[in-house]
Amino acid sequence: MGNYPAGQVNINVADFLKNPSRVERVVRDLTKDKTIADYAFGQGDAKDGAVIYDEVIGEAEQADRDVEVIAPGANFPEFGVLDEEQKMAKVDKYGGQSFLTFEAVRRNDVDTLNKRLQIVKNLIIKRVNKVSVNALVNNQNINRITTADTWDAVGYDALADIFLGKARIDDAEMGYTADLVLANPNDVQKYLLGNKSIREQLPRESKDLNPVLSGDLDGLCGVEWIKSSSVPAGKLYIVNKGISGSVRDEEGGVKTNVYDENKNQRTYIQGWRSIVPIITDPLSVVELTGFAA
């Protein structure tokens, strides 16, 4: 398969398009580990087009009890949660398609094929990211904090608000740990990277990052950062990675299809993912807003 997995396919275009399993493998690999869904959320299966799940909306029972000594042979104290809300969410399909003309296929136009695969990849990533973030935006039970002032106000400490959000999660006596922030790229540039005093607090050395993470913010406030246009401007989400929710796949990941449209002499490459993102632990999420001018 030539240069792949660097994102290039160097084979006969017609032969490639006639091999459904190879097309699917390439598109899967192009999207692997590049979505917010796969990094920020846990993973799971969805069957029969829907998921029934429990959403924890209460605090831990007896969270104020002190540590107890358990005598030999004695019963362990029981802890639970005050309230769980059972919900159901249905699976939807997200993706897109792009085409090559019959001439491009016949002439073995590998460059055009690679561009079309990239388009399909980007469509899948964009739509999966959007629906994953929307699960946070639309959840009514997550913590919400409004800042005291905008972050471009003279002398205002933006990082104090982020640490406040982290503390809301870490101190909830639920075992949560805030370790990831989702932010809009324009907000990051204007209010964080555009602030010299904040830039100076960034760690000097960055670690190796997952492709979805934002290296220019690595380590700020002791958390990982993802910048995505899927996050609404003026909002920032602090989460417990892999705990706040999960993404349930109905078909086991990315799927593809190739078909000819003889009327227009085009060969289409479709790619999609049938998923439903769910928020199971909303108290491990903080929405921070009010910082934008």
pLDDT, tens digit only, all 293 positions of the chain: 444 444 555 679 999 999 999 999 999 999 999 999 999 999 999 988 999 999 998 765 554 556 678 889 888 776 655 677 899 999 999 999 999 999 999 999 999 999 999 999 999 999 999 999 999 999 999 999 999 999 999 999 999 999 999 999 999 888 899 999 999 999 999 999 998 888 888 877 767 788 899 989 988 999 999 999 999 999 999 999 999 999 999 999 999 999 999 999 999 999 999 999 999 999 999 999 999 98
- Cα dihedral 53, 288, 221, 238 in deg (nearest 10): 10
Phi, psi for residue 170 in degrees, rounded to 5: -65, -30
- What pLDDT does 8 receive? 54
Q: What letters, b where the CB count within 10 A reaches 16 and e where it falls short, cover 100-132?
A: bebebbeeebbebbbebbebbbbbbbbbbbbbb
What are the tokens at 261? 């449209």
What pLDDT does 70 receive?
86
138 HSE (CA, 13 A, CB side) = 9
String of DSSP letters for 25-80: HHHHHHHTT-SHHHHHSEEEE-BTTEEEEEEE-SPBTTTTPPP----TTPPPPP--
- Residue 5 is predicted with a pLDDT of 46
**pLDDT confidence of residue 218:** 85
State the pLDDT at residue 206: 67
CA distance 31 to 122: 8
The confidence score (pLDDT) of residue 6 equals 47
The domains found in the chain, sorted by start residue, are: 13-61+79-137+250-275 (3.30.2400), 143-244+282-289 (3.30.2320.10)
Tell me how far apart the 2 most distant CA atoms of the chain are, in Å.
80
Predicted confidence at residue 2, as pLDDT, reads 42
Show the tokens assigned to 103: 């001439």
Q: What integer pLDDT is reported at residue 44 of this predicted model?
A: 94
